[in-house]
Structure 1
C-alpha cells in the first residue's frame, strides 16, 4: 500500500522552501489557540486567551451568538482557501476546565492537484480538552481535486470528564465539472484518547487505483465520506435510538457506539446529503451531550 512522507525541515528559513519548485518545496502555516473560562457574576464566560499564528492561518475575533455566557464561536481563516504541494498546516487547540468552544471554517477547504514533482501537502490538527470542558470541531467540508496528494491527521486528547462533538467531511473530485478523482492519494489518520487511553484509532488511504476504491467490499466507488464523533454522552443507547428514529432512513449512513465514542458514518455520492445528515445529527446530539440546543454558526448562512 502506498504511503506518504514529508521531507524533514532543514535549518534554512521556511520562506526558502515556499519559493522552491522542486521536491523540497515546503510552505508552513500554524495556529495555536487556547480557551479558558473566566468568572462573571453567577456564571462564567469562555474567552480566547491564546492566539498565536504563523503564515496564512489565523482568527479575527470570538463570537457569542448564544449569549456572553454561552459557547464561544471561532472561525478559522486560511486565506489561500486550499492546500497545494508543499503546504503544511498545523492547528493546535487547547480548551481549559469548564470552557466551551465551537470552531468552524468560513468555506470548504480545497486540496489541489499535486505539482509535477508529486510533492504532498500535510494538515495536522491537535485538539486538547480539559476536565468538564466542551469542544465542538465543525469544519466545513474538504474538497479533493483529482491528483491531490497529502496527509491529514486529527489527534484528540480528552480528560476524563471532557466532552467533544466533531466531524470531518471529504468530497473527492469535482463532479459538477465532470472531473472525477482518478489519481492521487490521501492518507487520513484519526486518534482519540481519554486520559491517555486510546479509544479510537483509525487510518485509511484513499487511493483510486486500489481495488478497494471501487470494490463493493470497500468504498464501492463512493466519492463522499463523512465521520461524526461524540464523546461524553450519558445515555448512548437512547441517543442512537433517537438518531435512527428522527433521521430519514438511508442506506448511506450508520451509527455505532464503542469504548465511549459514538461514531456516525456516511459513505455516498452527495456532498449536500452528507452535510444535511451531520447537521440533523448535531441537532439531536448537542442537547443530549451538553444540555443546550443546536445553534447554527452565522458563517454557514453567508
Structure 2
C-alpha cells in the first residue's frame, strides 16, 4: 500500500507564511514482476502528480507532474526528488507549458533530482517554459546515474508570450542540467538569459526565433553512439525551419540543441528526436503523449 498522497512528513512541511509557495514532491519506483510500480508518493501543493499510466511494451509507466495553481510565481520554491530502483523505467512529463509569472522580489526556484538504480531508465520530457513579463526563474535538473542506467532529458523555453508579441521582457531565466555517475560529473549544461544585460537575437544566439530546446542523452555502458548521433542529425535535417545540431559528450552521450520558430515546430521536432532516441537508445517505439 502506498503512503498517503495527501500530505508530507514533517520534514517536508512549510511555515504558515510559505504554504502554497514551498512545494515538495517525492516519488519512488521499483521494478516488480516485469513492471514498474510506484511505491512512494508524497507531496505538498503546489506540486502534485496524477496516477501513473502503464505503458507497453517493456513494463514502463508515464507520470504527469502537475502544478494545479496554473503557473509559478516569483518567490516560489519547488523541489522534486524521484528515485528509480534497479530496472525501473519511468517517463515524466507535464500536461502543458510551465508559465512563470512576474517576480517582484526573489526569483522562483524549481529543483528536480532524479536518482537511477542499476539498469533504470528515465525519460524526462516536460513541456517548455514560458516566462511572462518581469518573470525571474531558476530551474535545475540533476540526474544521478547508476550502473547500466539510461536517461533522456529535455529542456525547452520560449523567449516570452510570443502570441502577444512579447519578446525578452522577462527579468531572468536560468536553466541547468547536471548528470553524474558515482559522484563524478558526466554532463553539465547551463543556460542563463538576462535581457537587461544582453538580448541574444543575433547569429549564434536565438537568431530572432522564439524557442530554444536541448535534449541530453546519457547511457552507462552504451556503445552505439556512432549510430545515434547521425540518426539524430538526419532527423533534424527533416525540418527546414529548425536550426540545430548534435554534439557528443566526453564520457558517453550526446546533446541535441535546436531553435524553433513556433510552438508547433518545437513540439514536432522534440517528438521526432525523442522517437529516434527511444528507438536506438532504448529499443522502444515512439510514444505519443496526446497532449494536443
Give the TM-score range, shorter chain: 0.7 to 0.9
Q: How far off is 1:215 after superposition?
A: 4.1
Q: Stretches of 4+ moved more than 6 A in 1?
A: none
CA offset digits 1:43-89 (Å, max 9, x no partner): x111000101012212231111426x521111112101210111111
1:7 matched residue in structure 2: none
1: CA distance, partners of 2:197 / 2:29: 42
User: How high is the TM-score relative to the length of structure 1?
Assistant: 0.84
User: How high is the TM-score relative to the length of structure 2?
Assistant: 0.87
Conserved? CA contact 2:229–2:246, under 8 Å: yes
1:3 matched residue in structure 2: none
1:254 matched residue in structure 2: 245
CA offset digits 1:173-221 (Å, max 9, x no partner): 1121112222401122221112222111233311112236234344444
Q: Which structure 1 segments of 5+ residues have no match?
A: 1-11, 19-25
Relative to structure 1, the CA distance from residue 32 to residue 17 in structure 2 (aligned partners, 3 Å threshold; closer, same or farther) is closer
Q: Which structure 2 segments of 5+ residues have no match?
A: 1-12
2:71 matched residue in structure 1: 82
2: CA distance, partners of 1:201 / 1:244: 21
2: CA distance, partners of 1:34 / 1:143: 29
Q: How does 1:15-54 map to 2 (within 5 A)?
A: 15-17=16-18, 27-39=21-33, 44-54=34-44
Match for residue 217 of structure 2 among 214, 222, 230:
230
2:3 matched residue in structure 1: none
User: Bigger shift: 94-103 or 174-183?
Assistant: 174-183
Secondary structure of the residue aligned to 1:281 is helix
2:131 matched residue in structure 1: 144
Q: How far off is 1:226 after superposition?
A: 0.5
Conserved? CA contact 2:136–2:173, under 8 Å: yes
Counting matched residue pairs gives 275
CA RMSD of superposed structures (Å): 2.0
2: CA distance, partners of 1:215 / 1:167: 24
Q: How far off is 1:17 after superposition?
A: 3.5
